[in-house]
Structure 1
Amino acid sequence: MSTLHVLSHSPFGDHRLASCLRVLGNKDALLLCGDAIYALQPGSAPFAQLQAAGLKLFALAEDLQARGLQAPDWTKTIDYPAFVELSIQHDKVNSWL
């Protein structure tokens, strides 16, 4: 059973990212959107955590563009139709509200 975890809050305001990383299973994936995109700032602690985690990581292209960031090569950039497809591919979707 796989879960798509959707994170939209800044990793600098609370501990949702760390909590999410603790519960991710080997078949799970993580989608960063909204202010969670800031976790992809090179040189930041969240960036290092994500890089070391070796997980299936996705980022919403629109949110990357809005924040002037680029996804590292270990992150797949997707659009909204791909987000829907990704949601269908997983058994559950967990939004970290």
Structure 2
Amino acid sequence: MTTLHILSTSPFADQRLASCLRLLSPGDGLLLCGDAVYALNPDCAPRQALELMPEQIALYALQEDLDARGLHDWPARLQVVDYPAFVALTLDYARSNSWL
């Protein structure tokens, strides 16, 4: 069963991103929103961890949060989504898990 993992906290605040990455399975998706998009900053350990994810795991980020934080240099595999696409993603996966 595929899961959309939704992460909104900064990867520099705690270990949620690392915990999430350990639980991802092929076919799952990871959506970064809020301060979690800071994981996409070039040359940081969280970005390197995201780039090492297997290709069978989709990586998404909310456009509004990328823009609000001035992030424009992201991995080629990243799929940038708006809020309607975010809602559609929750329907595309069998379940959603918010890492609160």
**After TM superposition, is the score higher than 0.5?**
yes
**Per-residue CA shift, 1:36-78, capped at 9, x if unaligned?**
0000000000000000113310000000000000232110000
Q: Percent identity?
A: 57
SS at 1:36's partner residue? helix
Distance 2:20 2:52 in 1: 14
Q: Could you list the runs of 4 or more consecutive aligned residues of structure 1 that deviate by over 4 angstroms after TM superposition?
A: none
Query: Corresponding residue for 2:18?
Result: 18
Aligned to 1:65: 67
**Is residue 2:90 matched to residue 1:94?**
no
The number of residue pairs the alignment matches comes to 97
Q: Which runs of 5+ in 1 are unaligned?
A: none
- Give the corresponding residue for 2:3: 3
Deviations 1:78-97 (A, max 9, x none): 00000000000001000000
2:4 touches 2:96 (CA, 8 Å); kept in 1? yes
Q: Tell me the secondary structure at the aligned position of residue 4 of structure 2.
A: strand
Partner of 2:31: 31
User: Is 1:83 matched with 2:83?
Assistant: no
| Native 8 Å contact 2:62 2:80 kept in 1 | yes
Structure 2 unpaired stretches of 5+: none
Offset of residue 27 of structure 1? 1.2
Q: 1-side partners of 2:89 and 2:53: how far apart?
A: 20
CA distance in structure 2 between the aligned counterparts of 1:36 and 1:26, rounded to whole angstroms: 21
2:39 partner amino acid: A
